[in-house]
Amino acid sequence: MCGIAGIILREPGPVGDHLARMCEAMRHRGVDSTGFALYGEPVEHLVVRLRFRDATGWEEQLETLIVGLRESGGDLVADPSLDRDPRAPDRFARLELTFPGPVRELADVLAGRGGVEIQSVGHSLEIVKDLGDARTVAERHGINKFRGTHGLGHVRLATESITAVSYGHPFWAEPFPDVAIVHNGQLTNYYKSRRLLEQDGYRFHTGNDSELIAVYLADRMQRGQTFYDALKGSVYELDGCFAYLLSTADAIGSAKDMFAIKGLVVATVEEGVAMATEEQAIRAVFPDELETVHPDPKSVFIWETGGRVLQEIV
């Protein structure tokens, strides 16, 4: 149970600030953790967001990880940027790197030794998530300064799974670079679906049911589905209640459950399209009165950065 937000701008702009304000306006929907999936200017190499679980010993872990990266044929293309909040029990790092192999292998290289969580991998996607309310997380990670084309935000009210950084949203759809999801609701076929996907070799890093959506979509795309088709299929294959947003390098998509249990409001504004669990979140950024759409149950939408919109009730 949570609040979700998304925004897609016609021109690159302050997506970080927009999403931070949208999340802050939905503070009452959850303060256990907050997270953002932000899309900046795409680069040739990969941008990786990492979290070292323990503030002591992270330097060594980072060294080891860089050695491992170089042994696998990859390399850093810039110095890592690090979050050095001395009060925090953990450390966050942003790496820019090249890697010759598939992203899945990169994930093994980076996180294989433990102690490290990959928050995202992409050419433009950067996921930042942390414990606390929207303002705390945005301030700590400088979210408001982030400029880009689009992104997602999430405030979490933990339900059945624990409150932990890795359990927060957005979830990166490993191993797909640049794909992330945020979800409001709960899935009632999580354990069974998870077992089936694990049997097929997928990895789950948390016990949060929403992670299933990311892995499910990754699997369907791996099998060659477009992400529009994957969204459509999810309406029938995921059980429970949900309104979720999926983001890729050039689009945001949404899907809603069959019984219209979870809410979503979409507003088209001059600057682009914004969507959130509650209208007041959108108005925290666009204070003027809005033309809004409430997607129907079973509906899927895709808003592309180029302005094209696809929508369907499946």
Partner 1 sequence: MSRDGNADPGYARGRSHVWTPEIIRDIQAKADLGRYQIRGFSTFQRFPSLDDLVFLPGVMTRIPLEGYREHCETSTVIGGHDPAHVSDPLELAIPVYLTSMSFGALGANAKQALARGFSRAGSATCTGEGGMLPEEREASDRLIYQMTPSRYGLDLEHLRLADAIEIVIGQGAKPGTGGLLLGMKVSEKVAGMRTLPVGVDQRSAVRHPDFLGGDDLQVKIEELREATDYRVPIILKLAACRVLEDVKVAAKTGCDAIVVDGAEASTAAAPEFQLDHTGIPTLAAIPAARRALEELGLYGKITLIASGGIRNGVDAAKALALGADCVAIGTAALVALGCNAPRYVEDYEALGTAPGACHHCHTGRCPVGITTQDPELEARLDPEEGARRVHNFLTATVMEMTLIAKSCGKRNVHNLEPEDLRAVSLEASAFTGVPLAGVDWVVGPGLNERGV
Partner 2 sequence: MSTAVRVEVDADGVERLNLELRRLAAEGAAEIVVKNPRSRHNLAVGQTAPVRILVDGSAGYYCGGLNAGAHIEVARNVGWGAGEAMAAGSLVVSGGAALGTGASMRGGALVVRGNCGPRAGVCMKGGTLIVEGSVGYAAGFMTHAGDLIVLGDAGEALGDSLWEGRIYVAGAIRSLGNDAVVVEPDDEDSARVHALLAEHAIDGRFAFKKVVAEQRLWYFTSRNAEAWLRI
Q: Which residues bind partner 1 (CB under 8 A)?
A: 1-3, 28-30, 157-162, 184-185, 207, 241, 261-263, 277
- Residue of 183, 129, 146 lying closest to 38 (CA atoms): 146
Helix (H, G, I), strand (E, B) or coil at 71: helix
Question: Please, what is the minimum distance in Å from the beta carbon of residue 160 to partner 1?
Answer: 5
- Measured CA distances, 10 to 62, 220, 305 (Å): 37, 29, 7
- Distances, alpha carbon 313 to alpha carbons 216, 229, 248, 276, in Å: 20, 12, 21, 19
State the SS3 of 93-152. EEEEEECCCCHHHHHHHHHCCCCEEEEEEECCEEEEEEECCHHHHHHHHCHHHCCEEEEE
CA–CA separation, 223 and 225 (whole Å): 6
Cβ at position 224, least distance to partner 1 in Å: 35
Q: Choosing among partner 2, partner 1, none, which partner's interface includes residue 283 (Cβ < 5 to 8 Å by kind)?
A: partner 2
Site residues for partner 2 per CB under 8 A: 259-260, 263, 265, 278-280, 282-283, 287, 289-290, 292, 294, 296-297
Residue 294: name its binding partner from partner 2, partner 1, none (Cβ under 5 to 8 Å by kind): partner 2
Q: Which is nearer to partner 1, 117 or 219 (CB)?
A: 117
Does residue 141 contact residue 88 with C-beta atoms inside 8 Å? no
Of residues 26 and 48, the one with the C-beta less far from partner 1: 26
From the list partner 2, partner 1, none, pick the one residue 265 interacts with, judged by a Cβ distance below 5 to 8 Å according to partner type: partner 2
Q: Measured from the CB atom, is 92 or 301 closer to partner 2?
A: 301
- Which C-beta is closer to partner 1: that of 98 or that of 206? 206
Instruction: Pick the closer one to partner 1 by CB: 3 or 177.
Output: 3
